[in-house]
A = this chain, B = another copy of it.
Amino acid sequence: MEGKQSNTVNALLGLLSIHPMSGYDIRQLIPGSIGHFWSESYGQIYPALKRMTAEGLIAKKTSRTKGKPVRHEYSLTEAGRTRLAAWLKVPPAAPAPVRSELLLKLFFGGQVGAEVSRAHVEDALAFEQKTLAVYEATERAIKAAHPHNPHLPFWLFTLNLGRHTSKATIEWCVETLKELDRLAGIDGQ
């Protein structure tokens, strides 16, 4: 019954459950795995690994190959695996309130010309199309790399949500652009 630990620890436990890794490896792995819904910087990772080692959740193995920099590889201990499973079973906390600068500017868009909002939405459309392309590329890549991995379906679930929301956002951009044109037309006459 310890107090709730940070989710950084839980994310690292999860990643180390795939296979043992160094802090650097973890950072490199993130973009191609949990990167589209979770981020960790070195400033979080290294101190967390230290704390987790002290708590006995992970074990550190230092290897000195001649002509190579010292490498610190961490692997889950039994305690770590237990902790991960326990955390996975707890219903996730309510999502932290989002903050969208785009929507904030759009909400107050009436204070400036409609063409300002139009430009912002067009940028968002381009951005979201790229994001969608990345999701689809990632999906193909992990399907090709781990075709028989039992975890694959779970990895795809998370990518699917990205795909769904990206498509919805793109639709909204298109609709909103039309509306903004109508607005500008009314103003212009």
Contact = CB atoms under 8 A, between A and B. Distances in A.
A169 B158 contact: no
DSSP class of A's interface residues: helix, strand, loop or mixed? helix
Interface string A74-105: 00000000001101110111111111111111
A165 B103 CA distance: 13
B179 A157 contact: yes
Q: Interface extent on A, as a size class?
A: 35 or more
Interface of A: 7, 10-11, 14, 17, 33-34, 37-39, 84-85, 87-89, 91-112, 116-117, 119-120, 123-124, 127, 150-151, 153-155, 157-158, 160-161, 164-165, 167-169, 171-172, 175-176, 179, 183
